[in-house]
A and B are shown apart, each in its own frame.
Chain A
Amino acid sequence: EDKVVQSPLSLVVHEGDTVTLNCSYEVTNFRSLLWYKQEKKAPTFLFMLTSSGIEKKSGRLSSILDKKELFSILNITATQTGDSAIYLCAGGDRDDKIIFGKGTRLHILP
């Protein structure tokens, strides 16, 4: 059975800290690893990774995929209170079925 496991489940840090969120996956016919940010309602897309070892970057956020070890990390540097959210990792297969992990609830203290 396909699964996506995220850690930690929750994290509290101070503004300015750097955080690393982890995601491991077991997806048959894996094609892509996706990260989403969920604040109040709808998750919003952050990154999609398909190639191993290539970092995707957007501002203070970056992510990398290791297809050999079946995991990905999401880094957030110089965190701000606006980064507080649930960060969701998902694995997609070649049929476009997408399975989510339970998420990491990140809280940034001012």
Chain B
Amino acid sequence: GAGVSQSPSNKVTEKGKDVELRCDPISGHTALYWYRQSLGQGLEFLIYFQGNSAPDKSGLPSDRFSAERTGGSVSTLTIQRTQQEDSAVYLCASSPRRGTGGYQAKNIQYFGAGTRLSVL
């Protein structure tokens, strides 16, 4: 696609329910990132996928959070048994494939518009 696509754009759920957030990266981008942004705050790193390598899950705040990336493209972030403190905007970003676009291009991220999650 033309850009990074995230769905849904807004999600309201009840405490204790599970939610799934979806990210469609830019075609051909092998790196995919998930971040969480609370109101007025910066981006909190959650998880990072790079090609077929094992994902870097070091930012996931608890075992209620998990993410997968199928076929090296679409990614789903799952939050189980949601809590009110999970309310935030969840942003996805992708970066170009290693070896393309030159050294400089590999670290530039292209962001989706985010999913605003509200846990009541």
How long is the Cα–Cα vector from A43 to B110 in the complex, in angstroms? Answer: 8
What count of chain B residues pass the 8 Å CB interface test?
28
Q: What's the count of A-B pairs with C-beta under 8 Å?
A: 64
Q: Residues of A contacting B2 with CB < 8 Å?
A: none
Bound-state CA distance A100–B44 (Å) is 7
Q: In the complex, are the beta carbons of A42 and B91 less than 8 A apart? A: yes
B91: chain A residues within 8 A (beta carbon): 42-43
Residues in chain A near residue B33, CB distance under 8 A: 98
Query: In the bound complex, do residue A96 and residue B107 qualify as a contact, i.e. CB atoms below 8 Å apart?
Result: yes
- Nearest CB of A to B42, in Å: 4
- Is B41 touching A102 in the complex (CB atoms < 8 A)? yes
Given contacts A96-B95, A97-B48, A100-B45, contact A42 B112 (CB under 8 A): yes
What 0/1 readout, one digit per residue, does chain A (31-72) give for beta carbons within 8 Å of chain B? 110100000011111001010000000000000000000000
* B35 at the binding interface (Cβ < 8 Å): yes
A105 in the interface (beta carbon within 8 A):
yes
Across the interface, B35 reaches (CB within 8 A) one of A34, A45, A100, A105, namely A100
Q: A96-B107, A98-B45, A100-B45 are in contact. List 9 more A-B contacts (CB 8 A).
A: A41-B114, A44-B111, A88-B42, A96-B98, A97-B56, A98-B48, A100-B42, A101-B42, A102-B41
